Chain A
């Protein structure tokens, strides 16, 4: 019997050690409830040559390039263009102020500008209706008109925003447009519309994400729709497979402050984005405070597989 003592002893040692290891790990697990999620990786990217061309009416009117497009609403209502030395000369026909204020724009290969609206300080009787439209500045004539009217977009006093961001896809010549009108304090019900501008038809809708800004980017891993969230301080991406979006947007990173929401996304260079952020709360005050606009450079460090954020 004695000869088995070493075996029995070793079994007891392993059993006791196992007990301590299992209970200690259990305690550690209880203490550490959060495990970091690996950041989504879109891989390396570079600045692509845009298909956008300047509006043709500018040449016909002998207005020299470059032209600055002004949607700031500080001096002019709606759309204005500035040109000449130090951009001192301004172009602002009455018609360009007819549809109140604009949030952002995109340009196609023919020089047509597509614009989306924005409510601004004083609400007039038709302000909410104007949030349903995509507007087009005709490249040939310079006329500003309602291009598409999306009837199911319903801005209201409980959320004055309707259509709010837009991007043009040079590959298939389609528009991506977002709306946040259905969202409320608890529910994120934003809609992304994929639009064929030739037939003025909606090709697809993706629901459930509040977009504040968007940009199309091509990386080594494919084509993505980048989204600045209206809801939080994150930059998200949808993988575009034959222009059909993934099921859910994936978060790339968050800005340092919870109050900063990405309002503009610009592909600045190789692996570098320039982001403009504002404190957005679905009310009218957000657009008025210039000092609250913060700029960041977001740089993808491929060797470390992570994003680096710098104040721009």
Chain B
């Protein structure tokens, strides 16, 4: 071997060793740190209901099969044979008639929607010692079904050789891996979701989507709001190093929420869940910043407050100032009971974790209840949380639009859980209405609800408040009134001091075609004081003292209000009703014909209308 060849071999060996070292040593030294590109999370909430998805072939065929099963008196939608092997088919046949396996498929005489999710050869980790012993010598299969109504999983172990069910276990509030059919349906919903198309800027194809993490998504990303079965398909954009997570609710068959995030570790399914997404979305878009609305001549700013619900500010119509601020600061919830003499007030009483207050009244009756604040989901004193952000909706049968915000306790409509809506309706003629809507369900019957509305008019810096009783009387001092007879359409008005420019106030007696039974309200007029609710107000007054709405404290000094900046407080008083056929301020959960739960609601809407003076004859 010549000297040159030896040199050549040495060069090749040294080169190979150097390249090997270079390949295997991490760049940046041994203490590598996370270098994930910092991608800002962007969240969006679903804007469309389940109806949008019902014509997708996968969904349509699933609903059709489910309907056939329920109509035939069965509760479990079986797996198709294409998802099963020969033993699986045998096991499914056995389990669909096994009383132990199917016994949670009924509630009274109503069938509950169940899906068989998977049937596979048993794995040791799912077997207890006695079953494992049997399965050592025989062929065992494990089957799992999911009950969509009770949010429970049933697991059965079957001895296939002897055609015998060895064990049935139920796991409340647990969700299994989903069937291939549900996976395909989730993919179809994700591919057809209008929000996903908009975010991706194109109609996505199946190849763009990944469902590899179905198991993790199921285990750690339930739709917490309602304990629904959810999965999270993803759409990766490798160029921008970001991924779109879409949470699909397989109980309601719709997109629930979604977020854009980086491709790194922080985007594991554990980090996305419906509540987390809603909290972040609402905080960043409606709590930490104002939103602006310009429509049909109306302009305004709106935001979610810490405890005073949805607030509108600086409202104008065709350039004329209308409102400085309007909001519902509190809901006072009070229940009336008989038996005040039996009442033990020596200690505190709690209902569903809420401390209740007692007020003893006449005729051996007493009131008890609490105050509910609505507001931002984080860094706030609210106990009834916003669902989705504020929405702008067209009005039915009228020209105009509504700005509305839904607030719910997470477990609504279960007992002692509440749902409220803050709603502002703006009409094209310059009139507007401020509404507080209660959708139940509360702790029981005999409830009296009092929403406390604060309305700061912007008619002028020098305002006059007048009430009508055969003639208009100007209020000189801070005062209140309950005199709102039905035969007087406009019992109050707010005007500019030296002109008659302003608004009539039309209390609700049920004339607004919203099934309302009237406001039965008290109106208060006070002089503007920034400390009296211009910022967030904490819980105001007693929940249960029906003689005090909490606003009297602002009337104590009886200040002059003639020609001052006036704030109106409007406090309706609504009684709920759970009597079948005349429900009001009530909600209930019933089993539908398809074996799934349906929520029925009977809302009560209260709140006055403000009509520009001069329009009353139109």
Number of interface residues of B (CB under 8 A): 66
Contacts A74-B353, A120-B355, A123-B538 given; does A10 touch B8 at CB 8 Å: yes
Query: CB within 8 A of A257: which of B35, B264, B270?
Result: B270
Q: Contact between A157 and B23 (Cβ–Cβ < 8 Å)?
A: no
Interface flag for B12 (CB, 8 Å): yes
Contact with A along B371-384 (1 / 0, CB 8 A): 10101111111110
Interface flag for B199 (CB, 8 Å): no
> Which A residues lie within 8 Å of B284 (CB)?
185
A257 to B217 Cα, complex, angstroms: 11
Q: Contact between B377 and A283 (Cβ–Cβ < 8 Å)?
A: yes
Query: CB within 8 A of A121: which of B8, B355, B379?
Result: B355
Query: Which of A11-19, A59-67, A165-173, A268-276 is near enough to bind chain B?
Result: A11-19
| Contact residues, A253-285 vs B (CB, 8 A) | 256-259, 279, 281-285
Contacts A6-B5, A21-B19 given; does A77 touch B348 at CB 8 Å: yes
A127 to B371 Cα, complex, angstroms: 15
Query: CB within 8 A of A75: which of B15, B272, B348, B380?
Result: B348
Query: Which of A28-36, A108-116, A144-152 is near enough to bind chain B?
Result: A28-36
A7 to B2 Cα, complex, angstroms: 11
Interface flag for B132 (CB, 8 Å): no
> Which B residues lie within 8 Å of A186 (CB)?
288
Number of interface residues of A (CB under 8 A): 56
Query: CB within 8 A of B36: which of A34, A121, A158, A259?
Result: A34
Of chain A, the residue at the smallest CB distance from B35 is A33
Q: Contact between A73 and B380 (Cβ–Cβ < 8 Å)?
A: no
Q: Contact between B12 and A10 (Cβ–Cβ < 8 Å)?
A: yes
A29 to B363 Cα, complex, angstroms: 80
Query: Which of B66-74, B87-95, B159-167, B275-283 is near enough to bind chain A?
Result: B275-283
Of chain B, the residue at the smallest CB distance from A15 is B15
Q: Contact between B35 and A35 (Cβ–Cβ < 8 Å)?
A: yes
Contacts A3-B4, A11-B11, A256-B270 given; does A157 touch B381 at CB 8 Å: yes
Q: Contact between B355 and A282 (Cβ–Cβ < 8 Å)?
A: no
Q: Contact between A6 and B8 (Cβ–Cβ < 8 Å)?
A: yes
> Which A residues lie within 8 Å of B37 (CB)?
33
> Which B residues lie within 8 Å of A92 (CB)?
347
Q: Contact between A259 and B224 (Cβ–Cβ < 8 Å)?
A: yes
A153 to B539 Cα, complex, angstroms: 21
> Which A residues lie within 8 Å of B355 (CB)?
73, 77, 120-122
Query: Which of B25-33, B182-190, B557-565, B568-576 is near enough to bind chain A?
Result: B25-33
B211–chain A nearest beta-carbon distance, Å: 20
Q: Contact between A18 and B35 (Cβ–Cβ < 8 Å)?
A: no
| Contact residues, A217-274 vs B (CB, 8 A) | 256-259
> Which A residues lie within 8 Å of B22 (CB)?
21-22, 25
B329–chain A nearest beta-carbon distance, Å: 11
| Contact residues, A278-300 vs B (CB, 8 A) | 279, 281-285, 287-290
Interface flag for A184 (CB, 8 Å): yes
B10–chain A nearest beta-carbon distance, Å: 8
Of chain A, the residue at the smallest CB distance from B224 is A259
Q: Contact between A288 and B353 (Cβ–Cβ < 8 Å)?
A: yes
Query: CB within 8 A of B378: which of A14, A17, A25, A283?
Result: A283
A158 to B305 Cα, complex, angstroms: 9
A132 to B284 Cα, complex, angstroms: 29
| Contact residues, B362-397 vs A (CB, 8 A) | 370-371, 373, 375-383, 385
> Which A residues lie within 8 Å of B23 (CB)?
21, 25
> Which B residues lie within 8 Å of A184 (CB)?
379
A216–chain B nearest beta-carbon distance, Å: 29
B266–chain A nearest beta-carbon distance, Å: 9
Query: CB within 8 A of A14: which of B11, B377, B382?
Result: B11
Q: Contact between A33 and B306 (Cβ–Cβ < 8 Å)?
A: no
Interface flag for A119 (CB, 8 Å): yes
> Which A residues lie within 8 Å of B272 (CB)?
258
A87 to B143 Cα, complex, angstroms: 43
Q: Contact between B538 and A14 (Cβ–Cβ < 8 Å)?
A: no
> Which A residues lie within 8 Å of B34 (CB)?
34-37
B380–chain A nearest beta-carbon distance, Å: 5
A13 to B14 Cα, complex, angstroms: 12
A77 to B352 Cα, complex, angstroms: 14
> Which A residues lie within 8 Å of B270 (CB)?
256-258
> Which A residues lie within 8 Å of B2 (CB)?
3
Of chain B, the residue at the smallest CB distance from A159 is B379
Interface flag for B265 (CB, 8 Å): yes
Contacts A73-B350, A74-B353, A259-B276 given; does A6 touch B4 at CB 8 Å: yes
* A-B residue pairs, 10 tightest by C-beta: A14-B15, A6-B8, A10-B8, A35-B32, A288-B353, A10-B11, A34-B264, A281-B378, A77-B348, A258-B271
Known: A18-B15, A33-B264, A36-B265. 7 other contacts (CB 8 A): A14-B15, A35-B34, A75-B350, A123-B381, A157-B538, A185-B288, A258-B276
